[in-house]
Amino acid sequence: MNIPSITYMFNSEDAILLAAMINQSYQLFEKGTLLLPKGFTLRYTIRALAGVEKPEAEVFGFVAESQDTIIIALRGTRTFEDNESDQDLYQVPFPFVRNAGKTHRGFTCIYQSARNELIRELNKLSTTKRLMVTGHSLGGGLAVLAALDLAVNTGFKNPIVYTYGSPRVGDPDFVSRFNQTVRNSIRIFNVHDIIPTLPANAYPPPFTKKGLFYQHVDTKVPLSFQLNSLAVRNHEIVCYFKNLSQQNPDFTKALCTENPGFCPDTGICVPFLEICRENHLVDSRWSSSSPRKRET
């Protein structure tokens, strides 16, 4: 059954704030610390298992709370184990909601490993507050899984979802159930970002006996910034932040000025060279027949 697109008023202030929050989830993973804007308090650090053969525990994000809002922010791929999970694109029945189709096995296993503790922590918080679930890249996929689960199985019946550069997460049945249940969902993507084109819409037999089929959830909000780097600069959350900030520069300036260190450094968000550099040559002192490093 085809579900019409959900009408939801895209809010540039929410989009900018949440992109910066996601950047802080990367900081938490990489440095073990984060900065939150005034009024927000860290309530929980989200840890999950990533990887296929030998899953490893990693920090994937956090839950932060203010007087009227709860934010779940989830990072994207950073480790070998994350990449393993990304590529585990076989599908499994979504285990937490009945009749919700099938979802990406790698993403589902990561979310499943974090789910019980996440819900336990959320149950300590007020369901009268606005719940926002946000993620970038792999984290966008996790945010979609979490949003449907939380809407059905907790008191947070109307989560607001913002994803950035998210891959496809589930089959048409999953997407139908998600779109019916999660009425406030914004899927932001750069038209020059390769990650939202993955997994492909279809992997027909004989890839698997019945094939695999993927769709995106609603509601798409396309951006366009071409930095000549399909899976890096065209995909980085800091570059999404930079592009969105241009839509509301006054809010961005106030957010960054009032919260020093919270907004991301967007210095990387410049076009990548489109040609191979002439000085990018193998050093002649390296032996073509030996793997040894050059002596210095």
The answer to whether residue 23 is domain-embedded is: yes
Q: pLDDT tens per residue, the chain (296 residues)?
A: 343 344 457 999 999 999 999 999 999 999 999 999 999 999 999 999 999 999 999 999 999 999 999 999 999 999 999 999 999 999 999 999 999 999 999 999 999 999 999 999 999 999 999 999 999 999 999 999 999 999 999 999 999 999 999 999 999 999 999 999 999 999 999 999 999 999 999 999 998 899 999 999 999 999 999 998 777 899 999 999 999 999 999 999 999 999 999 999 999 999 987 666 666 666 666 655 555 554 44
What CATH number did the domain enclosing 131 receive? 3.40.50.1820
What's the one-letter identity of residue 43? R
Domains identified in the chain, total number: 1
The DSSP string of 20-71 is HHHHHHHHHHHHS-----TT-EEEEEEEEEE-SSS-EEEEEEEEEE-SSEEE
Rounded to two decimals, the pTM is 0.91
The answer to whether residue 197 is domain-embedded is: yes
Cα 264 to chain center, whole Å?
16
The answer to whether residue 162 is domain-embedded is: yes
The answer to whether residue 3 is domain-embedded is: no
Domain limits for position 237 = 15-258
The answer to whether residue 10 is domain-embedded is: no
The answer to whether residue 185 is domain-embedded is: yes
The answer to whether residue 276 is domain-embedded is: no
Q: Are 196 and 216 in contact (CB under 8 A)?
A: yes
The answer to whether residue 78 is domain-embedded is: yes
